[in-house]
């Protein structure tokens, strides 16, 4: 009884009527599932998309869509989120720029700063300004990425435990330019700018550091990149396998979370009164060879990468979700569940061919 009472007291929202939440980027993998999860739990949801007409196929998939309003909004347009966040108790800022290509003929550093990083920061600040002007938003939960983290210290030595303090070093990323460096740098500097703006303007901001997200997905015509990365030892797609290997090289291990768990973590952090700062959300971390073996066990197909036999794993770093779990969050799915459900969904949508027994 006392534990139940404490749980109630730790909720930001204490009201007989359902809270209203805004989800930016409602068309994406995480955004679409977060909208679904919020609706299933009885909340009123405002979802923002750049092109509402291209999001109509989601409507029959979202249960309880009578409590849903869709708004057109663009990160590049200041004030375009004003109507979406008006009257909302909280905002889940999931949307992010999808432009990370670099023109090799340009001054790369200057090009990335002007064409990728600056617009990404501006877009997030635009959302925060709308929240500031709303007079109703109590908290903003920002979706960050594991790409902003590193398991190596400034001397290049491995850290046995990776927690929220283990962020990448901007100068090192620009100098070395590893695979995925533009995305990592953009997310890192955008999150940094968001916390700075929030602190200066009295906005309650919490960030969720997402690891590789997989499981079921709504986006049938576009398999989520995180799913492709996690399945790359199976599919053999070189672009995504290189990215997976790069993550393993930087982090010392791979970490993953089920789509339902990452959505639950966002809501948990939105509503918990003691939530503050950054939180890693990883249900499990593992060496890349373990991932390859589990994929091969779940889906026997000749195209899989032959990496399980190689000694490519150092002592894996523990990518710790302790801060989130200490707050009371519990994960529902482990790695085997994630892989199983991801493969089933990919077969259903034709990304993976069915196995003929």
Tokens, residue 200: 């200066």
Q: How far apart are CA 62 and CA 354, in angstroms?
A: 27
Greater confidence (342 vs 178) lies with 342
Residue 239 within any structural domain of the chain: no
Q: What are the residues whose beta carbons fall under 8 Å from the beta carbon of 265, sequence distance 6 or more?
A: 208, 257, 279, 281, 324, 329
- The arithmetic mean of pLDDT across residues 305-323, rounded, is 65
CA distances from 298 to 213, 323, 327 (A): 18, 32, 33
Residue 154 within any structural domain of the chain: yes
pLDDT beyond 90 at 309: no
- The arithmetic mean of pLDDT across residues 128-155, rounded, is 93
Residue 130 within any structural domain of the chain: yes
Res 194: pLDDT: 98
Residue 224 within any structural domain of the chain: no
Whole-number CA gyration radius for the chain: 20
Residue 228 within any structural domain of the chain: no
Tokens, residue 256: 């993953």
**Catalytic positions, please?**
187
Res 155: pLDDT: 78
To the question of pTM greater than 0.85 for the whole model, the response is yes
Considering only CA atoms, which of 49, 41, 36, 138 is closest in space to residue 88? Answer: 138
44-58, 157-171, 246-260: segment of lowest average pLDDT: 44-58
Residue 345 within any structural domain of the chain: no
Res 79: pLDDT: 96
- The arithmetic mean of pLDDT across residues 167-175, rounded, is 89
Residue 238 within any structural domain of the chain: no
Q: Tens of pLDDT along 191-245?
A: 999 999 999 999 999 999 999 999 998 765 689 999 999 999 999 899 999 999 9
Q: Tens of pLDDT along 93-121?
A: 999 876 666 666 567 888 888 889 999 99
Task: Write the CATH number for 22.
Answer: 3.40.50.720
Helices 181-201 and 118-134: crossing angle in degrees, nearest 10, is 30
Instruction: With cut-offs at 50, 70 and 90, classify the pLDDT of residue 63.
Output: confident
Tokens, residue 64: 């309880």
Helices 335-348 and 225-235: crossing angle in degrees, nearest 10, is 90
As for how many domains the chain has, the answer is: 1
Residue 298 within any structural domain of the chain: no
Task: Return phi, psi of residue 308, to 5°.
Answer: -65, -30
Q: Give the domain range for residue 132.
A: 2-214+256-283+318-334
| Share of residues in the chain with pLDDT > 90 (%) | 61
Considering only CA atoms, which of 70, 78, 77 is closest in space to residue 25? Answer: 70
pLDDT beyond 50 at 312: no
């Amino acid at each position: 009884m006392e534990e139940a009472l404490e749980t109630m007291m730790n909720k930001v929202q204490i009201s007989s009527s359902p809270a209203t939440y805004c989800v930016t980027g409602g068309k994406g993998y995480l955004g679409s599932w977060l909208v679904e999860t919020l609706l299933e739990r009885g909340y009123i949801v405002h979802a923002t998309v750049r092109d509402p007409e291209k999001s109509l196929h989601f409507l029959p998939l979202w249960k309880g869509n009578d409590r849903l309003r869709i708004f057109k909004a663009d990160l590049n347009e200041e004030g375009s989120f004003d109507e979406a966040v008006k009257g909302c108790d909280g905002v889940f800022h999931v949307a992010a720029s999808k432009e990370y290509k670099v023109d090799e003929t340009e001054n790369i550093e200057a090009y990335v700063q002007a064409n990728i990083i600056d617009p990404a920061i501006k877009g997030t600040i635009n959302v925060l300004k709308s929240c500031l002007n709303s007079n109703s938003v109590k908290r903003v939960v920002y979706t960050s990425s594991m790409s902003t983290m590193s398991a190596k210290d400034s001397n290049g030595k491995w850290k046995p435990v990776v927690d929220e303090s283990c962020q990448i070093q901007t100068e090192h990323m620009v100098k070395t330019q590893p695979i995925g460096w533009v995305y990592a740098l953009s997310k890192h500097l955008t999150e940094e700018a968001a916390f700075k703006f929030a602190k200066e303007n009295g906005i309650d901001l919490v960030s969720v550091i997402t690891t590789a997200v997989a499981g079921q997905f709504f986006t049938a015509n576009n398999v989520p990149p995180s799913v492709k990365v996690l399945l790359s030892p199976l599919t053999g797609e070189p672009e995504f396998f290189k990215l997976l290997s790069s993550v393993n090289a930087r982090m010392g291990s791979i970490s993953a979370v089920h789509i339902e768990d990452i959505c639950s973590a966002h809501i948990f952090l939105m509503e918990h009164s003691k939530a503050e700062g950054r939180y890693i959300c990883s249900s499990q971390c593992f060496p890349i060879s373990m991932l390859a073996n589990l994929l091969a066990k779940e889906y026997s197909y000749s195209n899989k990468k032959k990496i399980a036999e190689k000694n490519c794993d150092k002592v894996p770093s523990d990518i710790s979700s302790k801060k989130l779990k200490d707050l009371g969050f519990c994960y529902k799915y482990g790695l085997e569940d994630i892989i199983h459900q991801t493969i089933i969904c990919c077969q259903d949508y034709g990304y993976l061919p069915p196995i003929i027994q």
